Amino acid sequence: MSAYGKYVVKKFFWYFVTLIVAIALNFLLPRMIEGNPVSVIVAQMTQGMTESDTIKRVYDTFAAEFGIDQPLHVQFFIYVKNLLTGNWGTSFGLYPKPVTEILASAIPWTIGLQLPAILVGWIIGNVLGAVAAYRKGVFDKVIFPVALFVNSIPFFTLAIIMLYAFALTLKWFPMHGGYDYQMIPSLSWEFIGSVLRHHTLPFLSIVLVTIGGQAIGMREMSIYELNSDYVLYSKLLGIRDSRIARYVFRNAMLPQITGLALSIGTMVGGSLICEIVFSYPGIGTWMFTAIRQLDYPLISGCTLLIALAVLLANFTIDLIYGWIDPRIKAAQMEDQ
C-alpha cells in the first residue's frame, strides 16, 4: 500500500475510535442520572398524569428502548444496534415522534441557513482581507477596524441588535420563524418568498460575523506571506505583480481552508445561538427546546449529529490538505 493509503487508513482508524468514544459518552450520560434513568425521565414526563395505565405504557416504551433490565454492556450493544438501524430513540417532548424524524425535518433548515451564509461570508471576508493586506492605505485603515469591530461583538448581541433594528423598528423583515406560520409548506412561489424573507436576517447576521473573522485572519496571513523571501526573490526575477499576488494569496488561503472546513463541520452546533435568537426551525432551536424539556433522546440525537459532522469535516480536511499543501503532505508521509 502507498504511504498515502496507509496514512488514510491510520487516520480513519483514529477517527473511528473517536466516534466510538463520542457514541459511548452519548450512551453513558443519560444513564448517569441518579437511580433508574428511565423512571426519572418518565417521572418528569408524566408529571400531572394520573392514569397509571398511561404512565406504565410510557415507562415500558422507554424501558424497552434503553434495555435497562440488561447489564450495561448489553445495553450498549442494543444502543449501537439501534443507532445503526436508524432507531435513534423517541422524543419525550414530542412523544411519540422518533428523534430521527425531528432531526430530518430540522437539518434542511440549518444547512439551508448556514451553508450559504458561511460560504458567502468566507469568500467576501477573504477577498476583503487580501485587499486590505495588499492595497494597504485607506483599504486597510477601513476594512481592518470594521472587521475587528464586527468580530468582537458577541454574536447574540449582534443578532439581537439586527433583530431590533431591521425587524422590530424598521419592519423590513419578519421577527421569527422559518416561514409564515399561516402557510402550509408547499412548493408555491408564495411559500418560497416567505422562506426567503425569513431567511434574510439570520443569513446576514452569520455572513457579517463570518466576514469579520475571515477578513482578519486573511489579512494577517497575507501580510505574513507578502513579507516572505520568495516574494522578494520572485520580484527580483522580474515576475509581474499580479502573478506574485496569486502566489501569496494561494499560500495565505491554506489556513483559511481549514477554517472553512471546520466551520462547515461545526455548522450544526454553531447555529445554536443564531437559530434561538431568530427562532429558526433548525437543529439549534430543537436542541435548545430539548435541553429545556430534558428531552434526553433528542439531546443525544443532536449531540451525536454534531459529533458526526465535526468528525467528518476534520477527516475530510486531513484527507484533502495533503493535496493542497505539499509541506503537509510531506509531514503526513513522514509519520508513516
Partner 1 sequence: MTLGKEQLRSRVSGREISYIPQAAMNALNPTLRIIRFIEDIMKEHRPELSRKQVWELAVERFETLNLSARVLESYPNELSGGMKQRTVIAISTILNPKVLIADEPTSALDVTSQKAVIKLLKHLLEKGYIQSLVFITHELPLLYHVTDDIMVMYAGEIVERGTAEQMIFDPIHPYTKKLMGSIIVPEEGMRGHKLAAIPGTPPNLKTVPEGCRFADRCTYAQSECRQGRIELQTFQDRSYRCIVPADTLREWYAHEDE
Residue span 246-285 as binding mask against partner 1, x where in contact by CB under 8 A, dash where not: -x--xx--x-------------------------------
Q: Could you tell me the smallest distance in angstroms from the CB atom of residue 22 to partner 1? A: 34
Site for partner 1 contains 326 (CB under 8 A): yes
- Establish whether the linkage from the previous residue to 96 is cis, with ω within 30° of 0: yes
CB of 16 or CB of 323, closer to partner 1? 323
Residue of 235, 316, 335, 336 interacting with partner 1 (CB under 8 A): 235
Residues 6+ apart with CB under 8 A from 255: 217, 221
Pick the binder of partner 1 from 152, 188, 228, 316 (CB under 8 A). Answer: 228
C-beta closer to partner 1: residue 191 or 247: 247
Q: Among residues 190 and 241, whose Cβ is nearest to partner 1?
A: 241
The C-alpha cell that represents 209 in the structure block: 460575523
Which of 161, 168, 327, 335 forms a contact with partner 1 (CB under 8 A)?
Answer: 327
In sequence order, the 6+-apart residues with CB closer than 8 A to the CB of 229 are none
We find the least distance from the C-beta atom of residue 256 to partner 1, in angstroms, to be: 14
Does the protein bind partner 1 through residue 135 (CB under 8 A)? no
Question: Which set of grid coordinates corresponds to residue 237?
Answer: 526575477
Determine, following the binding rule CB under 8 A, whether residue 237 of this chain makes contact with partner 1.
yes
Q: Closer CB to partner 1, residue 253 or residue 283?
A: 253
Closer Cβ to partner 1, 44 or 228, answer by number = 228
DSSP string, 135-187: H-HHHHHHHHHHHHHHHHS-HHHHHHHHIIIIIIIS--S-SSSSS-TTSPP-S
| Measured distance between the N- and C-terminal CA atoms of the chain, rounded to whole angstroms | 12
- Is there binding between residue 232 and partner 1 (CB under 8 A)? yes
- Is residue 129 within 8 A of residue 216, CB to CB? The reply is yes
Q: What span, in angstroms and rounded, lies between the C-alpha atoms of 40 and 33?
A: 8
Q: Given the complex with partner 1, which of 22 and 324 has the nearer CB atom? A: 324
From 211, 224, 293, select the one nearest 260 (Cα to Cα). Answer: 211
| Residue 58, C-beta contacts closer than 8 angstroms, at least 6 positions apart | 42, 45, 46, 95
Coil, strand or helix: which one is 90?
strand
Among 234, 279, 289, 293, binds partner 1 (CB under 8 A): 234
* 236 lies in the binding site for partner 1 (CB under 8 A): yes
The residue (of 88 and 321) whose beta carbon lies closer to partner 1 is 321
| 323 is a contact residue toward partner 1 (CB under 8 A) | no
Angle CA 144–152–138, to nearest 5: 15
Under rule CB under 8 A, residue 334 binds partner 1 = no
Helix (H) / strand (E) containing 42: helix 37-45
Of the candidates 43, 70, 330, 335, which one interacts with partner 1 according to CB under 8 A? 330
Q: Is residue 229 near partner 1 by the rule CB under 8 A?
A: yes
Nearer to partner 1 among residue 123 and residue 254 (C-beta)? 254
Write out the binding residues for partner 1, residues 279-318 only, by CB under 8 A. none
Size of the site for partner 1 (CB under 8 A): 22
Q: How far apart are CA 121 and CA 247, in angstroms?
A: 23
**Which residues lie near partner 1 (CB under 8 A)?**
228-230, 232-240, 243, 247, 250-251, 254, 324-327, 330
